[in-house]
Amino acid sequence: MAINLDDPKKLRGLRDQAHQVAMNMLRPISRKYDRAEHTYPTELDMLAAILDGLNDSGTSQGAGAAGVRRTEDAGPTGNRNGANMATVMGAVEMCWGDVGMMLTMPRQGLGNSAIASVADEEQLERFKGTWASMAITEPGFGSDSAAVSTTAVKDGDHYVLNGEKIFVTAGERSDSVVVWATLDKSLGRAAIKSFVVPKGTPGMKVERLEHKLGIRVSDTAVISFTDCRVPAENLLGTPDIDVSKGFAGAMATFDNTRPLVAAFAVGCAKASLDLTRDLLDRAGVTVDYDRPAQNQVAAAARFMQLEADWNAAYLLMLQAAWMADNRRPNSLEASMAKAKAGRVGSEITLACVELCSTVGYSETELLEKWARDSKILDIFEGTQQIQQLIVARRVLGLTSAELK
C-alpha cells in the first residue's frame, strides 16, 4: 500500500494562511507579551473575528477546536482529511508564531475540544461560540486524571460542584470552564463527568494566576468551586454511569487534545529549527543534505539529527489526526504523537539554543523563549511518563493494575 506523506492538497491553503498570520501578526509581538506576563494580546480579537467570519460562512477548515466524533461518516472512499487534520496543521503554523498566543486565542480553548468530543448535538449547538478552558488537574494529583476528587452532587435540575482546580489554561479569560468532577467517588473512573460552567456562576472563583517558566502570555489559573450550582443539561454527554466502560467517555477528550498538543510542540520546534538553520548559515555552517551527516561538521550533523526527530513527531501527529477524521480508534496513536512530539520538541529547542551559543541564550533572538515555551508541552495533557504507560498498556494488552 502506498503512503503519501505530503500535506493534503486541500489543506495547503489553510496551512499557508496560518503561516502568514503567525509570521505577520504573532511573531512580531511575541517578545512583547512574553515580558508583559498575563497581559491579554488585544491583537487577537481581530484574528478571532476573522476566524468567526470564516466559520459562519462555512469556508473554514479547522478554524476552531475539532472533536473526535466517531458517529459521523468518513465518506464513501473511507479516506477523509477533515477538521482534525486541518486543526493540527493550522496549529503547527500558529505555534511557529507563538505557542502562548495560540493557547489564548478566543474560542479556541482546550475546553472547546472537550465539548466537540463529548457533547451531544443539542449541546454542540447551545455552546457554539463559547470560549471554554478545561479544568482537570487538582492540588492532590497531576497526571492521574482518574484521581479527580471534585464532586458533583445532583440536586433537582442542577448539579452542585465542590472542589479546586489548578493549572487551568485561559482560566481567567475564557467564557466558560469545562470542569471534570465525579458523581460518585466509590464508583471510580466511570463516574467522572465533565460540566460546562459559565463564568459568573455563583460559587466559581478564579483564585489566582500562576507565574510560569514559559507561555507567559497565557493565563494559567487556580479556580475554586464552592456549592457551585450548574444546570443538569450542562453535563456533557450522558449522565449515566457505565462501570463496564470505565474511563472511556472522559478519555475521548484526550484522543482529540493530545494530537493538538503534539502540533503545538511540532510548531514551536519548527520555529527553532528554521531560525537555527539561518543563524548557522550566517556563521558559515551549511547543512548539506547531499552528504551524509558523518561527513559534515558537528553542528550540521547535529542539526540533521534534530530534523529527523522533528519529522518523526510530525508524521505521528498527522497519523493521529487522520485516524480521528476517519473515525478510527486513535488512543494509542494520540499518546504516541504526544509522547514523541513533547519530548523531541523540548530537546530540539534546547539543542538549538546550544548550537547557536551566546546568540541562542540571549534575548536578541527568540530561541531561548521557545526553549522555555516548549517544556510545558511535554507535561500538560499527560506527561511523557504517562504517555509511555498508555502506549505500553495498549501495545502489551495489559490493564493499569497488571502493568507495574
pLDDT one-digit tens code per residue, 102-132: 999 998 888 988 898 888 999 999 999 899 9
Q: Which residue has the higher pLDDT, 138 or 243?
A: 138
Q: Which residue has the higher pLDDT, 254 or 233?
A: 233
Compute the residue count for the chain: 404
Query: What is residue 371's predicted lDDT score, i.e. its pLDDT?
Result: 98
CB environment 315-344: b (16+ within 10 A), e (fewer): ebbbbbbbbbbbbeebbbbbbbbbbbbbbb
Question: Residue 268: pLDDT band by 50, 70, 90 thresholds?
Answer: very high
Considering the domain architecture, whether residues 54 and 165 belong to the same structural domain is answered as no
Query: What is residue 145's predicted lDDT score, i.e. its pLDDT?
Result: 73
Q: Is 191 exposed, middle or buried (0-12, 13-18, 19+ CB in 10 A)?
A: buried
In a domain, 4, yes or no: no
Q: pLDDT over 90 for what percent of the chain?
A: 70
CATH number at residue 172: 2.40.110.10
CATH number at residue 357: 1.20.140.10
- What mean pLDDT is predicted for residues 309-334? 93
pLDDT averaged over the chain?
89
Question: Last residue of a domain, which of 183, 214, 239?
Answer: 239
What is the C-alpha separation between 288 and 290, in angstroms, rounded? 5
Query: What is residue 78's predicted lDDT score, i.e. its pLDDT?
Result: 62
Considering the domain architecture, whether residues 392 and 260 belong to the same structural domain is answered as yes
For residue 23, pLDDT over 70 is answered with yes
Considering the domain architecture, whether residues 96 and 110 belong to the same structural domain is answered as yes
* Distant-in-sequence, close-in-space partners of 177: CB < 8 Å, separation ≥ 6: 111, 132, 133, 134, 135, 165, 168, 171, 196, 197, 199, 204, 223
Quote the cell numbers at residue 149.
476528587
Q: Is the dihedral of CA 136, 236, 189, 265 positive or negative?
A: negative
CB 338 within 8 A of CB 259: yes
Amino acid (1-letter code) at residue 263 = A
What is the C-alpha separation between 403 and 392, in angstroms, rounded? 8
Considering the domain architecture, whether residues 384 and 268 belong to the same structural domain is answered as yes
- Whole domain around residue 13: which residue ranges? 9-126
In a domain, 347, yes or no: yes
Considering the domain architecture, whether residues 384 and 259 belong to the same structural domain is answered as yes
In a domain, 304, yes or no: yes
Q: Give a three-class secondary structure readout of 44-65.
A: HHHHHHHHHHHHHHCCCCCCCC
- The helix or strand, by DSSP H or E, that contains position 168, with its residue range, turns out to be strand 158-169
CB environment 379-398: b (16+ within 10 A), e (fewer): bbbbbbebbebbbebeeeee
For residue 254, pLDDT over 90 is answered with no
In a domain, 61, yes or no: yes
Q: Is the dihedral of CA 153, 223, 214, 17 positive or negative?
A: positive
CB 86 within 8 A of CB 10: no
Query: What is residue 6's predicted lDDT score, i.e. its pLDDT?
Result: 78
Q: What is the DSSP letter of 141?
A: B
For residue 62, pLDDT over 50 is answered with no
In a domain, 151, yes or no: yes
For residue 61, pLDDT over 60 is answered with no
Q: Is 381 a catalytic residue?
A: yes
Considering the domain architecture, whether residues 152 and 216 belong to the same structural domain is answered as yes
Count up the domains in the chain and report the number. 3
Question: Residue 57: pLDDT band by 50, 70, 90 thresholds?
Answer: very low
Please identify which of the residues 93, 138, 365, 381 carries the catalytic annotation.
Answer: 381
Q: For 122, what's the count of Cα atoms within 13 Å in the CB-facing half-sphere?
A: 6
Considering the domain architecture, whether residues 332 and 271 belong to the same structural domain is answered as yes
The string of pLDDT tens digits covering residues 383-398 is 999 999 999 999 999 8
In a domain, 154, yes or no: yes
Question: Residue 54: pLDDT band by 50, 70, 90 thresholds?
Answer: low
- What mean pLDDT is predicted for residues 172-198? 93
Q: Give whichever of 80-94, 103-117, 135-149, 217-231 has the largest mean pLDDT.
A: 217-231
CATH number at residue 17: 1.10.540.10
Amino acid (1-letter code) at residue 358 = T
- What mean pLDDT is predicted for residues 249-253? 64
In a domain, 329, yes or no: yes
For residue 70, pLDDT over 80 is answered with no
For residue 74, pLDDT over 90 is answered with no
Question: Residue 199: pLDDT band by 50, 70, 90 thresholds?
Answer: very high
Considering the domain architecture, whether residues 154 and 263 belong to the same structural domain is answered as no
Question: Last residue of a domain, which of 198, 217, 239?
Answer: 239
For residue 73, pLDDT over 80 is answered with no
What is the C-alpha separation between 34 and 133, in angstroms, rounded? 21
Considering the domain architecture, whether residues 307 and 328 belong to the same structural domain is answered as yes
pTM: 0.92
- What mean pLDDT is predicted for residues 153-170? 97
3-state secondary structure of 89: helix
What is the C-alpha separation between 36 and 25, in angstroms, rounded? 17
Among 4-18, 69-83, 263-277, 354-368, name the one with the lowest average pLDDT: 69-83
Question: Last residue of a domain, which of 126, 150, 174?
Answer: 126
Considering the domain architecture, whether residues 277 and 319 belong to the same structural domain is answered as yes
Considering the domain architecture, whether residues 117 and 222 belong to the same structural domain is answered as no
In a domain, 206, yes or no: yes
Considering the domain architecture, whether residues 255 and 386 belong to the same structural domain is answered as yes
